[in-house]
Amino acid sequence: MSTAPLILLAAGGTGGHLFPAEALADALMKRGLRVRLVTDSRALRYSGVFTRDMLDVVPSATVRGRSPWALARTGAMLAAGTAVALNLIRRNKPAAVIGFGGYPTLPPLIAARLAGVPSIIHDANAVMGRANRFLSGRVSAIATSLPGVLDRDPALAAKTTVTGTPMRPAILAASAVPYAAPDMTGPLRVLVVGGSQGARVMSDIVPHAIEKLEPALWHRLVLTQQVRDEDMARVSAIYDRLKINAELAPFFSDLPARLASNHLVISRSGAGTVAELGAIGRPSILVPLPGAIDQDQFANAGVLAAVNGAIRIVQSDFTPDRLASEISSLAAEPSRLAAMASGAHSIGKLDAAERLADLVMKVAGIG
């Protein structure tokens, strides 16, 4: 049985939460520490550094309604999860518990507080998420990807370290690929991704925007687009009719390499996407997910827009005409695309995993 200190990582079961946790786990294991992941059942779909025997599934729930019944059900589930997590902590005796956001992190981080175990939360957004906001006053330290997230709260700002978003190895490899602006007559490579909540609007708008481009640009386009299965036929029909060189799929397992190989990215602006665009240094057109209480994606996109790394378009303005106009303008100015790539790259932090690992070891009292 290894006597190396154990670090318990807690993350919601989506890529945006799990990928930074994986990157930190890799950095910690290289330093000789042990890691385990506490998560919800969704994470079982993911492969990576966390093998099945390194996973602990803890019951959790998201607040989905304000009715007394819904709140009581959520509270009961979180209480049950906290009891399971408390037992897990007492059995494994971790040196620290690190949370990466999402409601599945509440039980293990609350349990860490109850057990007196040092804890850290990491928030990748420009606006702190609700689960992390609830935990912020109950943890030993806070790590953020972006500066200024907690400047309005001096007590929280005092225990906050800006580390950046830990990047998985595939992103670090892609970041080594320099940006090469398109030639005025050569291929224009465009990548369109939407994530689980955003692919529908991309399927609704992008094909019709492409249709409005000058035919000369159709022949230059090399388009890669994430398209849901239910939208595939209608999207494919438009591109086939226009004879667009297009690759369509519901999911791309090699997305980091595809980000690096394209001239322009059209996407939602989740925290992970914005961090990866910065790390790799690629120009983008970002369409924040509307309706979010915290407007976190709007703020995330603003970080890249502020350094001229992205064009931010709110969804109500994301029309075929507007998108066609932006693509046409960028295609006519390769130097502008290169400047945007440089701007995006200026916010990238490639050593974020090591920075966060340093903070973990400090808080845990290791080394």
Cβ–Cβ under 8 Å, residues 6 and 35: yes
**Whole-Å CA distances, 359 to 9, 28, 92, 98:** 14, 11, 21, 10
In a domain, 336, yes or no: yes
In a domain, 96, yes or no: yes
The tens digit of pLDDT for each residue in 242-268 reads 999 999 999 898 999 999 999 999 999
Residues 140, 127, single domain; the answer is: yes
Per-residue pLDDT for 197 more than 60?
no
Residues 180, 36, single domain; the answer is: no
The tens digit of pLDDT for each residue in 22-72 reads 999 999 999 999 999 998 766 666 556 788 888 888 877 666 566 676 667
Range scoring the smallest mean pLDDT among 80-84, 187-191, 219-223: 80-84
Q: How far apart are CA 50 and CA 22, in angstroms?
A: 7
In a domain, 54, yes or no: yes
Residues 355, 341, single domain; the answer is: no
Q: Do β-strands 310-312 and 284-286 pair in parallel, antiparallel, or remain unpaired?
A: parallel
Q: Which of 59-63, 196-200, 326-330 has the highest mean pLDDT?
A: 326-330
Residues 147, 51, single domain; the answer is: yes
> What's the burial of 324, exposed, middle or buried (CB within 10 Å: 0-12/13-18/19+)?
buried
Residues 220, 304, single domain; the answer is: yes
Cβ–Cβ under 8 Å, residues 274 and 302: no
- pLDDT score recorded for residue 65: 60
In a domain, 17, yes or no: yes
The closest of 88, 103, 97, 85 to 17, measured between CA atoms, is 103
Residues 125, 179, single domain; the answer is: no
Domain that holds residue 151: 6-167+350-364
Q: Residue 102's pLDDT band (boundaries 50, 70, 90)?
A: confident
Per-residue pLDDT for 90 more than 80?
yes
In a domain, 280, yes or no: yes
Mean pLDDT over residues 182-194, rounded?
A: 95
- pLDDT score recorded for residue 274: 94
Tokens describing residue 261: 């190989």
Residues 73, 192, single domain; the answer is: no
Q: How far apart are CA 271 and CA 338, in angstroms?
A: 23
- pLDDT score recorded for residue 39: 87
Residues 337, 354, single domain; the answer is: no
In a domain, 1, yes or no: no
- pLDDT score recorded for residue 261: 97
Residues 180, 310, single domain; the answer is: yes
Q: How far apart are CA 122 and CA 139, in angstroms?
A: 11
Mean pLDDT over residues 326-347, rounded?
A: 97
Tokens describing residue 302: 């603003």
Helix locations, the chain, DSSP H? 15-30, 68-92, 106-115, 130-135, 154-157, 169-175, 195-211, 215-220, 232-242, 255-261, 271-280, 296-306, 320-332, 334-345, 352-364
Mean pLDDT over residues 228-249, rounded?
A: 96
Residues 116, 182, single domain; the answer is: no
Cα first-last separation, the chain:
20
Mean pLDDT over residues 195-207, rounded?
A: 83
The tens digit of pLDDT for each residue in 103-158 reads 889 999 999 999 999 999 999 999 998 889 999 999 999 999 988 899 999 999 99
- pLDDT score recorded for residue 3: 85
Residues 341, 354, single domain; the answer is: no
- pLDDT score recorded for residue 196: 58
In a domain, 192, yes or no: yes
pLDDT-above-70 percentage for the chain: 92
Q: What is the mean pLDDT of the chain?
A: 91
Tokens describing residue 186: 């050569």
Residues 10, 151, single domain; the answer is: yes
- Give the CATH number for residue 253: 3.40.50.2000
294-299's contacts with Cβ under 8 Å and 24+ in sequence apart are 294/125, 294/127, 294/128, 294/129, 294/130, 295/127, 296/125, 296/126, 296/127, 296/129, 296/271, 297/268, 297/269, 297/270, 298/269, 299/125, 299/126, 299/127
The closest of 280, 340, 357 to 95, measured between CA atoms, is 357
Q: How many domains does the chain have?
A: 2
